[in-house]
Amino acid sequence: MSHYFTSDDGVKSQPHLIEYTISNHTFSLISDYGVFSQGKLDRGSEALLKHLISINLSGTILDLGAGIGVIGITLKTFFPELKVIMLEINERAIKMAKENIRRDNLSDIEVRTSDVCSALRENEKFVAVVTNPPIRAGKTTVYRMFKEGYDHLFDGGSLFFVMRKSHGAPSAQKFVAELFGNCELVKRDHGYYIFHAVRNNEQK
């Protein structure tokens, strides 16, 4: 059985466009079978994006588990000065993300094939890590994303993530709070919880 959080060339391919609107800006991205939320913008990413575009993002950010590039491309469009690194393990999603970047003629945005943060250099740091983690990959993988994301944040850098309450948001908040020393629930949106944690080296 194929999953969007793995790489499986055996899944049939039928590229198609998905459209979504965030804050009066309409996006049109290429999607395909075998990738996350292949037919539409998922509610979790939408909720996370609505929060992120309401705050002042700058510097270099990491889109962890980027899929076809929805979060990274949307943020880059709203904040053109951002530098965005997108990490993804699913080769078909990576192909779509690269094509979507090309179609939108975006610069300072890069996609890397990566098992969580394996494609990053040890000293590669970010001011923010954003993720809509793949719940079906299991808690071990999701919590590994939080831990490796923490390792690649500057002191004072932020982790933003979204998760449904029914998918374990309270326990994820507890894990991140133990890791970072803090984890604030900043918004609830139709069952999706958006969290913000800040790395403070003095806490470790």
| pLDDT tens by residue, 15-43 | 889 999 999 999 999 999 888 666 679 89
How many domains does one find in the chain?
Answer: 1
Per the DSSP assignment, residues forming a β-bridge with 29 are 18
Q: Does 144 fall in a domain?
A: yes
Share of residues in the chain with pLDDT > 70 (%): 91
Reduced to 3 states (helix: H, G, I; strand: E, B; else coil), residue 56 is coil
The answer to whether 66 and 48 are in contact (CB under 8 A) is: no
Q: Does 9 fall in a domain?
A: no
As a whole number of angstroms, the distance between CA 136 and CA 125 comes to 27
Q: Does 150 fall in a domain?
A: yes
Residue 149, pLDDT score? 98
Q: Does 11 fall in a domain?
A: no
Give the CATH number of the domain where residue 138 resides.
3.40.50.150
Q: Does 135 fall in a domain?
A: yes
Owning domain of residue 71: 16-203
Q: Does 5 fall in a domain?
A: no
Residue 136, pLDDT score? 83
